[in-house]
Amino acid sequence: MYTNILLPTDGSELAMKAVRHGLALAKRIDSRTVALTVLPPFHTFTTDAEMIEDTRTDYEARMQQHAEKTLGAVADAARAAGVECERVQVEHEHPYRAIIDTAESKGCDLIVMASHGRHGLAAIIIGSETVKVLTHCKIPVLVHR
């Protein structure tokens, strides 16, 4: 069956529900997991209010702290479930591409991810990263709602 499951997360509650589901599946089938969070790179010109207010150093420190918190929560849940979990953080302009690239480079044979992450207008304008993964990935994807 599946031997290495990728669990991408942005730290949202919906993403954590998908992570917990993926960990339960991994436990049941005795699979390893890879927890991934994708950080957006710093841009001098942006519409992201938080990025505008930060210097590059402040932004990178804040993103590192977010990644540690997000991946730490996954690692804690994996430890509690008795599942092996590797932590990976990647900086990438396109999260869907980072998810696919990480799945391929880490030898993952299944991706378990939330149906969506962003809400409201941002989701409409940016589009769903999940849909992009489904569209461009050759690895099976289990979408959790």
Superfamily of domain 4-9+16-115+131-144: HUPs (3.40.50.620)
Of the pLDDT bands very low, low, confident and very high (cuts 50, 70, 90), residue 42 is: confident
Cβ within 8 Å of residue 112, ≥6 positions away: 5, 6, 7, 18, 19, 21, 22, 25, 141, 142, 144
Cβ within 8 Å of residue 17, ≥6 positions away: 114, 144
Q: Is this model's pTM higher than 0.85 or not?
A: yes
Task: Tell me which residue of 16, 23, 49, 42 sits closest to 117, measured CA to CA.
Answer: 16
State the average pLDDT over residues 33-43. 92
CA 137 to CA 131: how far, in whole Å?
A: 10
Per-residue pLDDT reduced to its tens digit, 66-107: 999 999 999 999 999 999 999 999 999 999 999 999 999 999
Give the tokens for residue 139: 């690895």
Q: What is the pLDDT of residue 145?
A: 86
CA 121 to CA 113: how far, in whole Å?
A: 21
